[in-house]
Every structure is written in structure tokens, then in C-alpha cells.
Structure 1
């Protein structure tokens, strides 16, 4: 049997009334570089391993700003049992509230099998900056199996639903030219801001393997692949700098 653990964050105008972690998911309130609150996820032990079921829940209540980051990359590791690990992220952002979800990279180590699901529910006036980065294997290593899905609803209506499967347990073609094209780092940046309803961002290419495109709603999505984690972060940082004036970052 693997570890079952849930971490919970609630941010409101009074501060952080709920900040609880379990098992490998330790939470620390840290100093913010700008307005609002900041929480850092600290890995208290190696996880996720095969058979683990981990979850993080974050609620940002009306009129509140919260940044959530992590102290280090997350390594998906093989476990003692031949079962996949599961990692659930559930985010809720209220009216005139802002969440900046900026964890470090997720590394799919050889022999690992991780199913990760992120669900986001936004109020009509909410703002979101969400970054995801997946690294397929450590340096010189074959990747583990990784399946990720990101679903975003705004005011109860679907805004985005995307899924990626890669590694030896994924359907064929995941490493072909239509998907990763041999790259071992992939990621996306999603920015949602009511200001985009007045002035939506235009399509923009960010180097040879990354593009910024508007969504059918007040949002912008950057998708990228790169040779390594450093190159991937550079292109996503460039995209965030381009979008940040609108997102009130």
C-alpha cells in the first residue's frame, strides 16, 4: 500500500486560516515578493511513489491574492508495488481573486508511473497564472510513464481541457514529430484574466518550439517543448513577462 496524503490551503483577506499538510506534502508560509500571500510546498519525503495517492487543495477566496510555489522539483519514482501513483490538484479561485500556481518541474524517473490531474474552478472575475513543466527522465535516462490532464472551468463553463500521455506506457506516437519530437522537456503556461475580454492576446511564436495562443474565453495558453528544463523555463518566463502586465502580476 502506498501513502495517502492531502494538503489544504485556504487564503482569504485575513490570511491563511487553513494551512495543513500530510505525509510528504509539507506547507510553509513564505515571504511574498509582491502583494498577497505566498505558500511554498516542501517535500517532506520521497514521493510520489508507485501506489501513492496525493492531493493538494487550494481555495483563494474573494478579493485575495495567493502565490503557491515549491521548494524543489517533484520526482515521480517507482515504488515497491506495481501500481501507478496518483496526484490530484484541486484549485478554486473566487471573485476578484488571483492565484499564481508556479511549482517547480515534475520529473518522470525511469520505471515510474504517475497519473496527475489538475482541476481549476474560477469565478467570473478571477485571475489565474498556472505553470506546468514535465521533464521526461533525469539526465541521460529513459523516461517513466506520465499521464497529465488539466481542466479549467470559469463561471461554471469549460474554458480548457488538455491531456498529455508520454513514456513507455503511453500510446504510440507520443515522441513523434506531432507531439514531443524527441524533446524531453514539455510544459504550458495558462493565464486567465477578465481584461482579456477587452483586449485578447494575439498568436505569437516564442522560438521554434513554443507558441502563445488565445483561448475561446479570457485566457491565453503557451505550450512549449525544449531540450531540457532550463530551456523550457526560459521560454515560459518570456511568455509570463509578455502576459504579466495584463494579469496584474
Structure 2
């Protein structure tokens, strides 16, 4: 019989404070999810997601929600990598991210890596809902296994919508039990770190960056809307971050 694990939710909302800055009327987390406001940078409010305990473990269900209103600017990072681990409870762990940005709002979502440790089973679902005129930088990095370790089972889906229309909807499954070929030349090509960077800016609607390769295992692709997608593979987390940082500088 499957026993329920830990349920935890973190919520934040950002508002224009009317004085050239951004306020955070909602900033709350429970269980292993803690939110800490850090020093602002100009008009941008900054929040750090702090894991108060190990996880997610088997059977856990974590949810992080962020809402950015018109004229607000929010930057969200995390204090350390998230490590999916096997736990005492049976069943798959879940990690849901739900983000919403209004017209004229801006969100930079730049957490540390997610590491899929051996024996773990995790499903990650990230959904971003944008209104026309919203700005977004969304980074997602996943590392399959710790040093010298086989990965756990990881399923990840990212959906980005603009005014209800899909900009991006993709899903990938890796590790034991995933569909055959996930580690082959058509998918990961033996690499163990994978990441993507989604940048949405209104000016990309009329002047999108040109598609290009960014090294042997990375590419920049304009999307059907004011957005670009950078996808990258690397042998480890350090080299993956370097590629994505260089892409972000390239995009300005």
C-alpha cells in the first residue's frame, strides 16, 4: 500500500509598490519550502527558495506558486540544488511550479539544479501563464545522478502560454523505466546534465534572435511568438550552467 508523503506549498506574489519598487504582499511557505526576501536590486524584488529539509522524497508533493502583477519585477532563485531522493514512502514524488505574469510584469526564475539521485522517482511539472506584454526569463537545469551514480527516474514537463495560446509544451522522461532511447544519440547522447532557457520579451515579436548553434550540444531556437528557447546538454552541471549563462548574456 502506498503511504502519502509530505505535502508542502510555497506562495509568493509581487506588486508594483507605486514608489519605483516591488512589494511582496504574499510570501509564505510551509514544511520543507521556505521563502526568504533578499536585498532588492533597483525596482526588482528578490526571493530565495530555501529547502528546510531533504527532498522531495518518494510520495512527497511540493508546489511553488508565484504571481507577478502589472509593473512588478520579481527575481526568484534557490539557496542550493534540489535533490530528488528515494524515501520510506512508496510511489512517485511530485514537484509542481505554477507561475503567472501580468502585462507589464517581469519574472526571472533562476533556481539551482534539480538532481535526480539513484533510486528516486520524480515528476516535475512547470506551467507558466503570461499575458501579452509580460517578460520572462525561465531557467531549468536537471542533473541525472550524483557523481558516479546512476540516475533515478525523472519525468519533466514544461508548458508556457501567452494569453492562453501555447508558446511551448514539451515533456521528457529519463532514467530507469523511461521509454527506450532516452540516453541515445537522438535524445541525451550520453550526457548527464540537461537544461533549457526560455526568454519572453515583447520586442522578440518583431525582431526575434536568429536560430543558431551554441556549441556542440546547445541551440537557440525562436518560438512562434515573442520568445526564444535555448536547449543544452553537458557532461556535468558546471558546464551546463556555463552554456546557459553565455546564452543569457547573448540575449541581453
Shorter chain as denominator, the TM-score bin is over 0.9
Partner of 1:139: 147
Q: In the aligned structure 1, how far is the partner of 2:42 from the partner of 2:245?
A: 17
Structure 1: segments with no counterpart, 5+ residues? 245-249
**Which residue of the other structure, out of 175, 178, 189, is the alignment partner of 1:181?**
189
Q: In the aligned structure 1, how far is the partner of 2:42 from the partner of 2:87?
A: 39
Partner of 2:52: 44
Partner of 2:5: 2
When normalised by structure 2's length, the TM-score is 0.95
Partner of 2:20: none
* CA drift at 1:169: 2.1
SS of structure 1 residue aligned to 2:243: helix
CA 1:148–1:34: 2 relative to 1, 3 Å: farther
**Which residue of the other structure, out of 95, 98, 120, is the alignment partner of 2:103?**
95
What's the RMSD between the two structures over aligned residues?
Answer: 0.8
Q: In the aligned structure 2, how far is the partner of 1:234 from the partner of 1:34?
A: 26
* CA drift at 1:91: 0.1
Partner of 1:247: none
When normalised by structure 1's length, the TM-score is 0.97
Partner of 2:67: 59
Kindly report structure 1 stretches of 4+ aligned residues shifted beyond 6 Å.
Answer: none
Tell which deviates more after alignment, 29-38 or 210-219.
29-38
* CA drift at 1:33: 4.1
**1:123-157, Cα deviation, whole Å (9 max, x unpaired):** 10100000000000000100010000000110111
* CA drift at 1:197: 1.1
Q: In the aligned structure 1, how far is the partner of 2:41 from the partner of 2:71?
A: 18
SS of structure 2 residue aligned to 1:7: strand
Partner of 2:234: 226
SS of structure 1 residue aligned to 2:76: strand
How many residues align structurally?
244
**Which residue of the other structure, out of 1, 14, 33, is the alignment partner of 1:25?**
33
Q: In the aligned structure 2, how far is the partner of 1:79 from the partner of 1:142?
A: 17
